[in-house]
Amino acid sequence: MKSDVKPATFAAHAGGAYDDVSGGVVPPIQPSTTYRRDADYAPMNADNVYIRPHNEPVRAAEKVIAKLEGAVDSLLFPAGMAAIAAGFRWLPSGARAVVQSGIYWGTTKWLRGFADRRGITLIEVDASDPEALAQAIGDQVDIVFVETPSNPWLKTVDIAQAAEMTHASGGILMVDSTAASPILTKPLNLGADIVMHSATKVLNGHSDVLGGVLSAGAMTDVWQAITEDRAETGAVMGPFEAWLLLRGLRTLPLRLDRMCHSAQKIADYLQDHPQITEVYYPGLATHAGHGIAARQMDGGFGYVLSALVKGTAEDALRVAGRLELFLSATSIGGVESLVEHRHTIEPHSGIPETLLRLSIGIEDPGDLIADLAQALGQ
* Cβ neighbour number for residue 276 with a 10 Å cutoff: 19
DSSP string across 106-147 = HHHHHHHHHHHHHT-EEEEE-TTSHHHHHHHHTT--SEEEEE
Residues 6+ apart with CB under 8 A from 324: 371, 374, 375
Annotated catalytic residue within 73, 142, 158, 176: 176
> Catalytic: 59?
no
> Catalytic: 36?
no
Sheet with 276-280: list strands edge to edge: 276-280, 304-309, 355-359, 338-341, 327-328
- In order of their start, the domains of the chain are 7-249 (3.40.640.10), 252-376 (3.90.1150.10)
> Catalytic: 371?
no
Burial of residue 97, with CB atoms counted within 10 A of its CB: 0-12 exposed, 13-18 middle, 19 or more buried: buried
Annotated catalytic residue within 18, 35, 50, 52: 52
Helix (H) or strand (E) holding 160: helix 159-168
Query: pTM to 2 decimals?
Result: 0.94
> Catalytic: 112?
no
Annotated catalytic residue within 96, 186, 201, 250: 201
- From first to last of the 378 residues of the chain, give the pLDDT tens digit: 667 888 898 898 876 667 778 888 888 888 888 889 989 899 888 888 888 888 889 999 999 999 999 999 999 999 999 999 999 999 999 999 999 999 999 999 999 999 999 999 999 999 999 999 999 999 999 999 999 999 999 999 999 999 999 999 999 999 999 999 999 999 999 999 999 999 999 999 999 999 999 999 999 999 999 999 999 999 999 999 999 999 999 999 999 999 999 999 999 999 999 999 999 999 999 999 999 999 999 999 999 999 999 999 999 999 999 999 999 999 999 999 999 998 998 888 889 999 999 999 999 999 999 999 999 997
